[in-house]
């Protein structure tokens, strides 16, 4: 080839190299020019991405459709690889097989393969392979020309890579700048995580991105943000916080050629007690035949971004934690304020029922704990069971609008109190306290609050309790403590609102249960103390009454004995005179008056003697109903003469009483006769009832006599049991005193219930036979 022609070829190559078209098109044009002027059958360019890396088939002239995977030649192996390694041209006469993949694939037998390193003074960018027909030789001028052309091609490749790198660096800097602005523009952690995951994936040309953070204290909890296409095995935080099974790396750098190296994962560098990772997945490539792999530059860029955003993420984490703490403090202050209001009202009452109602209302009030259903159990230590004593449900159509303190104060001052148990079926419910007898007891006597999510299908819950309480939704059982032991339990659920129970609800319930346990135990002890004081006062009054009656009895006995003998003589002589004078004598009327008055005085003396006696020698078991019926038979004539209607309501199956039947009969005779006299000759109704009653844990039998007379004047009610006090013109005033003494002698009580103009009722309560015997011992 002459100098002029060689110069023209080189000028044409330089012109193409400086053209404004894409680098790939320029390289193709250069290959075409060489092929045209040198007459080669095939021209192939093998590009080398990094220094001493493998060479990959890139441009081919004449142009060919791509078939299969591009040829790859290891650096330093074969003529093509040695040309890159030795930086010297390689001219080889082909002898097949050549034991070289590139030569065997592109050349034919006896053809000339010429390999020229495409390089500058610094590095090799590619290897140019020219294939000539058999018999073709190359002179030194052609070799020199191709070396010069190779330098121009090296410049084209270098300039293209520099331009591409510069453009990419500018893009990276812009994106990093945007990432930095985004990192400092918001303190919202969720928004920042989403922004980082998306921008990092876009910057590295990845199909998916992920940010995950873990705090060992679990406060805040584990966090992550996903963008785009993330492999299922990498979507869990726990997997990313360990060894990444998706990204093939060695010392933090992707392993070249590893098929698994389709992702990058770098740690986030936090100063505090956090750890996390920044990950990208599936490199996007324009060439569908290219392998989607990340390289070391991508890794370094990802490390830079991870370092840059770590501080922003940590600031957001700290800010979020501060927000959580502030919110918790506000909730705690609100909860303590609510409990303070409740405790303030509880401290102002010692009434047991009022305390129960205050606790119930505090649990259901919208300004209190705001639950829908509350059932309060108390422990019966003697029988070892928990019994419901109060329940309350929220009425969604009639919400309480007043403040919590006002509502609780109104309940405290309410008289009479509203019913404690509104569901009568609860009255018969008993939950054994011993866990061996009841599964439900495990939720009460273990001393911890327990939440049951599915009461109907939970095998640990007693089905009877579920049915009686209509438990369909989750509920919480909270034990109440006083003096270091369980005294009861509170059961709550939210069947109306459907609100779930959180940690705050359990803590508040636990605190209120402790407060309620102490308040109820205090109220119960105060009630017992008050009852004991009342009983002592009653016993003191009885002792005073007994002393007074004993003194009066002694006086009555003495007066009766002194008067009885003269009175017998007066009565006897008067009756003899009456017989002698006959009915026609003018003094007969006077004698009859004397005889009648003497008889009345004798009856008074007998009553006085009965009042003073204290005989207990005839106590036996008797049926109170029979005594009442016998007393009624003795007064049939008086009842008929006064048109009295008798109504009997005698209880069946009553236990017998241990008594002197003659004395108890005398009690009911007196009471019935008083009732008849109170109703007068006009029509009236006498009601006789009997029933059993429990008092202070002991069994008693009661008999009641009620009339429809005018009642007892309120100003004299307190005197009716005093001896010799009477409101009748012809009464002795000993009838009710004798009744009171007989009943007291039998360890019973007699009470009067004055109904004003509607009449009065006298209630006689006697101990059952077993209790009566115990009193006599």
What contacts 200, CB < 8 A, 6 or more positions away?
A: 179, 206, 209, 211, 278, 280, 302, 305
pLDDT confidence band for 704 (50 / 70 / 90): very high
Confidence bin at 690 (pLDDT 50/70/90): very high
DSSP codes, 567-621: HHHHHHHHHHHHHHH-SSSTTHHHHHHHHHHHHHHHHHHHHHHHHH----TT-EE
In angstroms, what CA-CA distances link 600 with 65, 161, 451, 738? 148, 143, 79, 17
Q: Evaluate whether 186-321 and 337-530 have a shared fold.
A: yes
Question: For residues 660 and 715, which has the higher predicted lDDT (pLDDT)?
Answer: 660
CATH architecture group of domain 615-776: 2-Layer Sandwich (3.30)
d(CA 545, CA 548): 5
Q: What per-residue confidence (pLDDT) applies to 237?
A: 65
For the residues 604-627, what does the mean pLDDT come to?
A: 70
Average pLDDT, integer, range 464-468: 79
Are residues 297 and 329 in contact, defined by beta-carbon separation less than 8 angstroms?
no
Which segments of 347-398 does DSSP mark as H helices, in order?
Answer: 352-364
**For 657, how many CA atoms within 13 A lie in the half-sphere containing its CB?**
28
Cα Rg, the chain, nearest whole Å: 56
Mean pLDDT in residue range 292-315: 80
What's the CATH number of domain 186-321, 3.40.630.10, 3.30.413.10, 3.30.450.40, 3.40.50.12160? 3.30.450.40
Cα–Cα separations (whole angstroms), residue 505 to 260, 413, 509, 736 = 49, 29, 6, 61
DSSP secondary structure string, 525-578? HHHHHHHHHHHHHHHHHHHHHHHHHHHHHHHHHHHHHHHHHHHHHHHHHHHHHH
Q: Where are the domains of the chain?
A: 3-166, 186-321, 337-530, 615-776
Mean pLDDT of the chain: 79
Give the tokens for residue 230. 């993330």
Q: Please say if the pLDDT value at position 632 is more than 80.
A: yes
Second CATH level (architecture) for the domain 337-530 = 2-Layer Sandwich (3.30)
Residue 113 has pLDDT above 80, yes or no: yes
What does the pLDDT average to over 731-742?
72
- pLDDT band per the 50, 70, 90 thresholds, residue 346: confident
Choose the weakest-confidence range: 283-292, 419-428, 732-741. Answer: 283-292
Name 265's Cβ contacts closer than 8 Å, sequence gap at least 6: 240, 244, 246, 247, 249, 277, 278, 279
- Can you give the pTM of this predicted structure? 0.47
pLDDT of residue 447: 66
Phi, psi of 749 (to 5 degrees): -140, 150
pLDDT at 564: 66
| Tokens standing for residue 498 | 């459907």
Residue 257 pLDDT class (50, 70, 90 cuts): very low
Give pLDDT, residue 574.
82
The pLDDT tens digits of the residues spanning 532-572 come to 888 788 778 767 766 766 666 666 666 666 676 677 778 77
Enter the tokens of residue 502. 């959180």
CA dist., res. 681 & res. 639, Å (int): 9
For the chain, give the number of residues: 777
Centre a 10 Å sphere on the Cβ of residue 274 and count the other Cβ atoms it contains.
20
Does the structure show a pLDDT above 60 at 268?
A: yes
Question: Is the domain 3-166 a CATH 3.30.390.50 member?
Answer: no
Dist. CA 83–CA 124, nearest whole Å: 10
404 φψ region: left (φ > 0), alpha (ψ -120 to 50), beta (else): alpha
In DSSP notation, 698-734 reads EEEEEEEEE--S----GGGGGGTTSTT--SSTT--S-
Confidence of residue 443 (pLDDT cuts 50, 70, 90): low
- Tokens at 506, concatenated: 């359990």
CB atoms inside a 10 Å sphere around CB 278 = 26
Token pair 């490390």 in the structure block, residue: 303
Whether cis (ω within 30° of 0) applies to the bond prior to 355 is: no
pLDDT value, residue 695 = 81
Higher-scoring residue by pLDDT: 128, 308: 128
Q: What sign does the CA torsion over 103, 108, 110, 116 have?
A: negative
419 pLDDT tier (thresholds 50, 70, 90): confident
């Amino acid at each position: 080839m002459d100098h002029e022609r060689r110069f023209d070829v080189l000028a044409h190559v330089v012109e193409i190299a400086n053209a404004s078209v894409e680098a790939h098109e320029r390289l193709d044009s250069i290959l075409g020019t060489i092929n045209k002027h040198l007459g080669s059958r095939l021209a192939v360019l093998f590009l080398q991405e990094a220094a001493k890396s493998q060479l990959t088939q890139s441009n081919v002239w004449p142009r060919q459709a791509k078939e299969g995977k591009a040829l790859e030649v290891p650096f330093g192996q074969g003529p093509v690889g040695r040309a890159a390694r030795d930086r010297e041209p390689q001219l080889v006469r082909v002898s097949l097989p050549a034991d070289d993949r590139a030569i065997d694939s592109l050349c034919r037998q006896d053809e000339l393969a010429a390999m020229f390193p495409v390089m500058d003074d610094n590095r090799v960018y590619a290897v140019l392979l020219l294939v000539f027909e058999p018999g073709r030789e190359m002179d030194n001028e052609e070799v020199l020309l191709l070396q010069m052309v190779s330098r121009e091609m090296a410049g084209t490749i270098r300039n293209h890579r520099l331009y591409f790198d510069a453009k990419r660096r500018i893009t990276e800097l812009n994106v990093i700048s945007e990432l930095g602005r985004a990192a400092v523009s918001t303190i919202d952690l969720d928004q920042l995580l989403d922004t980082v995951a998306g921008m990092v994936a876009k910057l590295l040309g990845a199909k998916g991105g992920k940010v995950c953070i873990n705090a060992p204290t679990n406060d805040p909890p584990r966090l992550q943000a996903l963008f785009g296409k993330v492999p299922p095995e990498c979507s869990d935080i726990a997997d990313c916080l360990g060894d990444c099974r998706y990204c093939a790396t060695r010392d933090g750098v992707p392993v070249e050629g590893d098929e698994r190296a389709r992702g990058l994962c770098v740690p986030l560098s936090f100063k505090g007690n956090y750890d996390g990772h920044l990950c990208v997945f599936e490199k996007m490539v324009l060439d569908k035949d290219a392998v989607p792999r990340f390289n070391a530059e991508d890794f370094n860029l990802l490390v830079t971004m991870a370092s840059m955003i770590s501080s922003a993420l940590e600031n957001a984490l700290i800010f979020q934690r501060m927000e959580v703490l502030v919110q918790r403090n506000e909730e705690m202050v609100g909860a303590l304020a609510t409990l303070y209001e409740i405790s303030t009202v509880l401290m102002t009452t010692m009434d047991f029922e009022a305390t129960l109602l205050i606790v119930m209302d505090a649990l259901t009030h919208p300004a209190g704990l705001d639950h829908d259903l509350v059932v309060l159990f108390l422990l019966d230590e003697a029988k070892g069971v928990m019994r419901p004593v109060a329940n309350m449900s929220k009425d969604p159509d009639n919400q309480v609008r007043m403040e919590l303190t006002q509502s609780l104060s109104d309940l405290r001052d309410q008289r009479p109190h509203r019913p404690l148990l509104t569901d009568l079926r609860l009255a018969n419910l008993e939950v054994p306290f011993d866990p061996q007898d009841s599964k439900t007891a495990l939720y009460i006597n273990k001393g911890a609050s327990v939440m049951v999510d599915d009461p109907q299908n939970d095998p640990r819950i007693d089905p009877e309790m579920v049915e009686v309480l209509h438990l369909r939704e989750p509920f919480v059982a909270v034990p109440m403590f006083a003096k270091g032991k369980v005294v009861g339990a509170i059961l709550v659920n939210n069947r109306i609102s459907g609100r779930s129970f959180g940690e705050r609800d359990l803590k508040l319930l636990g605190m209120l249960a402790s407060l309620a346990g102490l308040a109820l135990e205090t109220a119960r002890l105060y009630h017992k103390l008050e009852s004991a004081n009342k009983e002592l006062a009653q016993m003191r009054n009885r002792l005073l009454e007994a002393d007074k009656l004993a003194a009066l009895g002694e006086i009555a006995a003495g007066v009766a004995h002194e008067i009885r003998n003269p009175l017998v003589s007066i009565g006897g002589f008067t009756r003899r005179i009456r017989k002698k004078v006959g009915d026609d004598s003018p003094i007969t009327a006077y004698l009859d008056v004397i005889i009648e008055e003497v008889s009345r005085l004798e009856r008074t003396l007998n009553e006085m003697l009965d009042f003073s006696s204290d005989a207990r020698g005839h106590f036996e078991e008797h049926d109170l109903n029979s005594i009442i019926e016998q007393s009624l038979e003795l007064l049939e004539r008086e009842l008929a003469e006064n048109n009295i209607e008798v109504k009997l309501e005698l209880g069946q199956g009553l236990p017998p009483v241990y008594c002197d039947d003659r004395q108890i009969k005398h009690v009911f005779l007196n009471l019935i006769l008083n009732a008849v006299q109170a109703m007068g000759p006009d029509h009236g109704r006498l009601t006789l009832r009997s029933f059993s009653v429990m008092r202070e844990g002991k069994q008693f039998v009661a008999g009641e006599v009620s009339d429809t007379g005018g009642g007892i004047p309120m100003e004299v009610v307190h005197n009716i049991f005093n001896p010799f006090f009477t409101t009748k013109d012809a009464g002795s005033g000993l009838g009710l005193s004798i009744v009171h003494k007989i009943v007291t002698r039998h360890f019973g009580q007699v009470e009067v219930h004055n109904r004003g103009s509607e009449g009065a009722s006298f209630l006689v309560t006697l101990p059952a036979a077993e209790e009566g015997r115990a009193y006599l011992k």
